[in-house]
Amino acid sequence: MERGSLQARRERLTQLVPKVGPVAFARDRVLPVVPALGSLLPEAGLVRGSIVGCQGGTALSVALATVAEASAAGSWLACVGLPSLGLRAAEELGIALERLVMVADSADLSEASLANMMSALIDGFDLIVLRGTPGIGIATARRLQARLQARGAVLVVVGNPGPFICDVTITGLGSQWEGLGDGSGRLARRRLALSATGRRSPRVREIEVWLPGANGGIEPTASPSATEMATGTGSVVAFLPTG
The piece of 36-44, 82-90, 142-150, 161-169 that touches another protein (CB under 8 A) is 82-90
Q: Which of 30, 31, 33, 60 binds another protein (CB under 8 A)?
A: 60
- CA angle, corner 65, sides to 88 and 232, nearest 5? 95
Binding mask 116-155 for another protein (x = CB under 8 A): xx--xx-xxxx-----------------------------
User: SS3 for 184?
Assistant: coil
Q: Which of 5, 15, 215, 227 binds another protein (CB under 8 A)?
A: 215
Q: Which of 16, 43, 84, 165 binds another protein (CB under 8 A)?
A: 84
Burial annotation 211-228 (CB, 10 A radius, 16+ → b, else e): bbbeeebbbbbeeeeeee
- CA angle, corner 108, sides to 103 and 113, nearest 5? 70
- CA angle, corner 107, sides to 106 and 108, nearest 5? 95
Q: Which of 3, 19, 186, 203 binds another protein (CB under 8 A)?
A: 186
Q: Which of 32, 45, 53, 213 binds another protein (CB under 8 A)?
A: 213
The piece of 34-42, 68-76, 141-149, 200-208 that touches another protein (CB under 8 A) is 68-76
The piece of 42-50, 138-146, 193-201, 212-220 that touches another protein (CB under 8 A) is 212-220
Beta carbon of residue 25, minimum distance to another protein (angstroms, whole number): 9
* Interacting positions 24-43 with another protein (CB under 8 A): 24
User: SS3 for 103?
Assistant: strand
Calpha distance 87→238 (Å, rounded): 21
Contact call for residues 152 and 49 (beta carbons, < 8 A):
yes
Position 128, amino acid: I
Q: Interface with another protein includes 201 (CB under 8 A)?
A: no
